[in-house]
Amino acid sequence: MVGKQLIRLATASLALAGVAFGGGSPLLAQPKPPLVLAAASLQDVLMAESTAWMRLGHAKPVLSFASSSALARQIESGAPADIFISADEDWMNDVAAKGGLRPNSRFDIASNTLVLIAPVNSQIQLRIRPGFAVAAALGGGRLAMADPDSVPAGKYGKLALTALRVWPSVATKVARAENVRAALELVVRGEAPLGIVYATDAQATPRVRIVGVFPAASHPAIRYPAAALKTSMSTETDGFLSFLRSEPGRAIFKQFGFGPA
């Protein structure tokens, strides 16, 4: 009798061990968190969103930040991610055209503003308008921008400077950064006297100040499209995207300075 009880106890222990190591009931298995590929300018807000989502009892999303262009190329090369959030429509359109998005999952998640920044102790004063003296204000320094040939923040910046008829005067004075946060860092460290970033990036550090805001008419509207990827394997993908669209999710975006979609 004792022998049979020991066998039953051993069997139960093995069953529990199987659950602990992923070999037991799928009902007790920990859900696989979504891997989110997101534009660098979303770093702070998405860290806050993922923490809020985790506090609701979910697995914390895995976040990977880079320029939208770099992330789109990763997706097109077969990166096994679950969600893509771009800083512009063009790179999301590119991924969509190549069949990378899950159908009917795309939506705009937030909006932003483009600003000219300087180190916090800088004395530069400029009024952003057609023909403004940005080149003279640079002196022998450079204008920090995300790469204007590929990265959304840089593309918006070039379009705005072109519309204001000053791009030719600064085209050879641009310090090209791999993403908008890298451009911000150049100004933070005083390596560039001026930079073009999103308003939310400027808000992220007290070490820069906003010199001026670019007129909305000088560049396309800055919107952040989000979508589930066709490669998504996480059962949490749709839930996290829904949370970002919910009232609590939108409130966090607003807290970090983003506008409504």
Q: CATH number of the domain that 91 lies in? A: 3.40.190.10
Q: Are residues 90 and 45 in the same domain?
A: yes
Please indicate, yes or no, if residue 1 is contained in any of the structural domains.
Answer: no
Question: pLDDT per position in the chain (261 positions), as tens?
Answer: 434 443 343 333 333 333 333 333 444 456 899 999 999 999 999 999 999 999 999 999 999 999 999 999 999 999 999 999 999 999 999 999 999 999 999 999 999 999 999 999 999 999 999 999 999 999 999 999 999 999 999 999 999 999 999 999 999 999 999 999 999 999 999 999 999 999 999 999 999 999 999 999 999 999 999 999 999 999 999 999 999 999 999 999 999 999 998
Amino acid at 51: T
| pLDDT for the residue numbered 29 | 57
Write the single-letter amino acid at 38.
Answer: A
Can you give the residue range of the structural domain that contains 48?
A: 31-111+222-255
Say whether both 99 and 49 belong to one domain.
yes
Number of domains in the chain: 2
Together in a domain, 46 and 134: no
- Residue 151 inside a domain? The answer is yes
51 and 36 in one domain?
yes
Q: Where are the beta strands (DSSP E) in 113-172?
A: 114-119, 143-146
**Same domain flag for 208 and 118:** yes
Cβ of 99: how many Cβ atoms within 10 Å? 9
In this prediction, residue 25 carries a pLDDT of: 40
Give the phi and the psi of residue 157 in degrees, each rounded to 5: -65, -45
For residue 202, tell me if it sits in a domain. yes
> Are both 140 and 95 inside the same structural domain?
no
H or E element that contains 134: helix 134-138
Name residues whose C-beta falls within 8 Å of residue 204's C-beta, 6 or more positions apart in sequence: 44, 184
Compute the C-alpha angle 138/139/140, nearest 5°: 105
Report if residue 6 sits inside a domain.
no
Per-residue model confidence (pLDDT) at position 9: 35
Shared domain check, 88 and 43: yes
Q: Is 108 exposed, middle or buried (0-12, 13-18, 19+ CB in 10 A)?
A: middle
Same domain for 203 and 140?
yes
Token representation of residue 34:
């979504």
Q: Count the neighbouring beta carbons within 10 Å of the beta carbon of residue 34.
A: 28
Tell me if 74 is assigned to some domain. Answer: yes
User: Would 157 be classed as within a structural domain?
Assistant: yes
How big is the chain, counted in residues?
261
- 118 and 102 within one domain: no
Distance between CA 186 and CA 145 in Å, rounded? 9
Q: State whether 118 and 104 are in the same domain.
A: no
pLDDT of residue 31: 84
Same domain, 118 and 102: no
The C-alpha atoms of residue 117 and residue 130 are separated, in whole angstroms, by: 18
Q: Does residue 160 sit in the same domain as residue 81?
A: no
